[in-house]
Each structure stands twice: as C-alpha cells, then as structure tokens.
Amino acid sequence: MDTSSIRKLFPILSQTVNGYPLVYLDSAASAQKPTEVIETLKRYYEQDNANVHRGVHTLGSRATEAYEGARAKIAHFIHSERVEEIIFTRGTTSSINLVASSYIRAICKEGDEIVVSAMEHHSNLLPWQQAAKATGAELKYIPLQADGTFSIEDLENVITDRTKMVSVSHISNVLGVTNPVKQIATIAHKHGAVVMVDGAQSISHIKVDVQELDCDFYAFSGHKMCGPTGIGVLYGKKAYLDQMEPIEFGGEMIADVGLYDSSWKELPWKFEGGTPIIASAIGLGAAIDFLEQIGLDVIEAHDKQLTSYAVQRMKQIENLKIYGPEEGRLGLVTFNLGKIHPHDLATVLDTYGVAIRAGHHCCQPLMRHFGASATARASFYLYNTEAEVEKFLFALNKTKDYFKEME
C-alpha cells in the first residue's frame, strides 16, 4: 500500500498541531475522512439536496437514488443476502439499542438469559442491562482470562438452552483482539440463541461476510470507516427483522394510518421513521467505494504490520505496561506509562502534535478487571506510518523525562 499517496487524500493530516506535524493515532475513536467523502457530501448539498421517497421532482429522485444506492453498496460490502436487511441508524449504539428494545424485550421473560462479555464497550452492555431489567431475564457474563480475553470453553459453559441472546464485539476497542464470531455463532445456535455482533472496530480493518459468520445481527458506525458521523448500520437476518416492531414512529415508516391504528412499511423502511440521515448515508456509500478501491485485505495487512511494529518498539520503553495479549492485535495498543495518569500523558503528547485516546474507553468493567481506572490508547489506520510511530515513541520518552523531572 502506498501510504504516502493515501495520506494526500486526507486533507486534515497536512496540518501542524502545536508546531509539530499532526500524528493522528485515534482512529479507533473516529477515522479521518478522505477528499472523496468530503466532496460527496458537498455535492449532495450543492446539487441534490431534497427529501427521499416522497417527491417526484428531479432532486428528490436523485437523492432517493443515491440514498438507496448507498444501502445497496453496504449490502454488497458485508455480503448481506438481501438489501432490505440493511437498516440505517445513527450508529452502532442505536443499532444495538434497536435490537435490545425491540427484539429482545419482545421474546425474553423471567428465567431467560442474555450473555455478554466484560470486555464489551458500554454500547454493547448497557442496552442488555436495561433489557434484562425490563424482562426479568438474567444477564450473564463470559469469564475473562488474565489478559482480558475469553475462551471458547468458558463461553460453552455459560450458554444454556435458556439463553436468548449472545452479544460480543468482533474486535475489542481496548484489546485489539478479534473474537471468533463464527465459532461463537455455531455454539449459540445449537442452544437456539440469537447472536449480535458489535462490529464498530472490525468493519474498517477486515473483510466482513455476515453470511459466513452466520451472525443474526451485525452493527457498525460510518465514522470509524472514513465515513461521516451520525450514520450507522444494523444488519439483521430478514426472519428476525420481520418479527421486530419499530421503536420510533412517524413519517416515512408507515403504510397506512388510521385514527386508532396504523400499519408499517415493509423492510427496511419500517425502522427508518422521519427524515432519514440522507447526506451521511450517501457519504458512507462514498467511504465504502474508497475502502474497496484500496482493498480490505491490503488495509488489514498494513494495520497488522503497523500494530506489531508499535508493540515491539513500545516494549523497549521502561515501565510501559501493555494491556491484553501481545499477539493477534489489530489496529490499536492500550497501555500505561509508569505512574503517569493517562490524561496527563495524552495532554503532553498533544504538545508534540500526537493525538491519542485516554480514559476508560467506555469499558469500565474491563478496566476494573485490569485494576486500572484509565489507560492510554494509540490506534492506527491505513494512513499511519512507521515514521509516525517513531514520532509517537519520541513524544512518549519526552513525556517520561518531563514527569521524572517533576518528581
């Protein structure tokens, strides 16, 4: 992959921060946007801005074609069997909440079980907590190993014939490890359970084939894959989506409205009430075009190599602790440096133009598992380079020296 050429396609990366060239290592939180996506949004607002599905005029027709065209691109991108299995949402959080609020609350009762792991992002934990409280179902956790991962054996011991839902992340936003989703789905389905996958971290780094994974639901956000903010996707097998009731009601999603009762449109529109997120959906379609032009295989190889390089170089820094397994990481490294608070560390790194994440990463149960209130996280994507890793390491050492002098 010609990273130097790719970097030129991201205008934001050409700037300096605090007198240093920007080193953006926070793509796990939100990826930067290429010119192609930015220009697509600009073109929509300048030439095609209109509501979709309603008007018969030219602008409305063009907007509808682009909006539904983006849905078709997404279906192809994740290998969905049907276009109508693609539901536009505000993001991964909204997608998971839709399943928890509609599907699970309708089928769960006291004595049933919902299974998750303690490595999950809060977006894949809080909706299930609330669903369990509302239905009387038991929320069960897959035990974690010392490094924060879980074993298939422990998963098998937790799932029972009373389990209705198993929800796991595809790639952890703290550990960077890829969970064996296909194997998890096989085990869950043997017990009659449905499988939800949080794909927020995986969708931008690896090829996703929902049919091969055999997951029942898959959720992801556009902003982590070079697309706009405020747009996400819920993939669901048609059989389950057909069973589900909408949780938002209004225009766009109705077939017929009476004074005392109404009926809904068919999939996917029954879940997209109100004016949809038109521009961002079209922008997400452009982001998918961009990623496919480069190739997810190429992106995955680059991100693996860069992550491995960063881990090996970071291990050479005294008193730097890396969380999670060293092998099999993709896209990120979570760490702490001595007794320096992660927020202080990130603040000093920013003075050298290096942007990283600091905090609990919306994974407080996992932080408690490690006995840490917070950690720092450097994450990498297709536009990052080994030279940037070296600048990051330089800033880390400078930060270490600074706090040593403060002692």
Are residues 334 and 322 in contact, defined by beta-carbon separation less than 8 angstroms? yes
* Cβ-proximal residues to 187 (8 Å cutoff; 6+ apart), any chain: 152, 155, 156, 159
Residue 287 to residue 282: CA distance in whole angstroms: 9
The residues, ordered by sequence, that sit 6+ positions from 320 with a Cβ below 8 Å of its Cβ are: 314, 335, 336, 337, 338, 396
Q: Identify the DSSP state of 100.
A: I
User: Which DSSP string corresponds to 140-186?
Assistant: EEEPPPTTS---HHHHHHH--TTEEEEEEESB-TTT-PBP-HHHHHH
Residue type, 82: R
CA distance 394 to 401: 11
Query: What sign results for the dihedral spanned by CA atoms 360, 333, 287, 44?
Result: positive
**Which among 215, 226, 362, 363 is annotated as catalytic?**
362
**Active-site residue, 215 included:** no
- Give me the helices (H) in 20-179, please: 35-43, 58-77, 92-98, 105-107, 126-135, 152-158
What's the count of helices (H) and strands (E) in the chain, helices before strands?
15, 17
Using alpha carbons, select from 296, 286, 281 the residue that is nearest to residue 87: 281
d(CA 379, CA 381): 7
CB neighbours of residue 99 within 10 Å: 25
Radius of gyration of the chain (CA): 22
Q: How far is residue 161's CA from residue 387's CA, in Å, rounded to a whole number? A: 52
Q: How far apart are CA 101 and CA 87, in angstroms?
A: 15
Active site residues: 362
